[in-house]
């Protein structure tokens, strides 16, 4: 079957760095997306990895290891507005996104 595993909740301090891990199992693989979702709002795109390695985009970076079925999202210089849920969504062989419940990130002053 298809499965996404992310921590349910994480807490970090403003200004710090946090890494959100994601392991996945899918029927085929065509890349992996990370989305941010604030409470009561729709998801917004953060990153897309299709090859192994690290993709850096400002304060956010995303890493992928296809052989390990593993990805992480790294958030630097945390700000209060980064408090949100972070969704790891791999794309299967049919180009469908597989969604987990996401990781709720709480930022404390």
Partner 1 sequence: GAVVSQHPSRVICKSGTSVKIECRSLDFQATTMFWYRQFPKQSLMLMATSNEGSKATYEQGVEKDKFLINHASLTLSTLTVTSAHPEDSSFYICSARSPSTSDDYEQYFGPGTRLTVT
Q: Does 100 bind partner 1 (CB under 8 A)?
A: yes
Pick the piece of the chain touching partner 1 (CB under 8 A) from 13-21, 58-66, 73-81, 97-105: 97-105
Whichever of 17 and 101 has its CB closer to partner 1, that residue is 101
Which DSSP string do the residues of 59-87 spell out, in sequence order?
TEEEEEETTTTEEEEEE-S--GGG-EEEE
Q: Does 61 bind partner 1 (CB under 8 A)?
A: no
Rounded distance, CA 3 to CA 1, Å?
6
CB of 100 to partner 1, least distance (A): 6
Pick the piece of the chain touching partner 1 (CB under 8 A) from 12-20, 30-38, 55-63, 65-73: 30-38
Pair of tokens at residue 100: 């987990």
Go through 47-57 and write b for each residue having 16 or more CB atoms within 10 A of its CB, e for each that does not. bebeeeeeeee
Q: Which residues bind partner 1 (CB under 8 A)?
A: 30-31, 33, 35, 40-45, 48, 87, 91, 95-97, 99-102
């Amino acid at each position: 079957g298809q499965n996404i595993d992310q921590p349910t909740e994480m807490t970090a301090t403003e200004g710090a760095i946090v890494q959100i891990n994601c392991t996945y199992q899918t029927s085929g693989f065509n890349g992996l997306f990370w989305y941010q979702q604030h409470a009561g709002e729709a998801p917004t795109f953060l990153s897309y990895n299709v090859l192994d390695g690290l993709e850096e985009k400002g304060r956010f970076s995303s890493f992928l290891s296809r052989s390990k079925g593993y990805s992480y999202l790294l958030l630097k210089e945390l700000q209060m507005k980064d408090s949100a849920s972070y969704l790891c969504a791999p794309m299967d062989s049919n180009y469908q996104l597989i969604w987990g419940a996401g990781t709720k990130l709480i930022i404390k002053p």
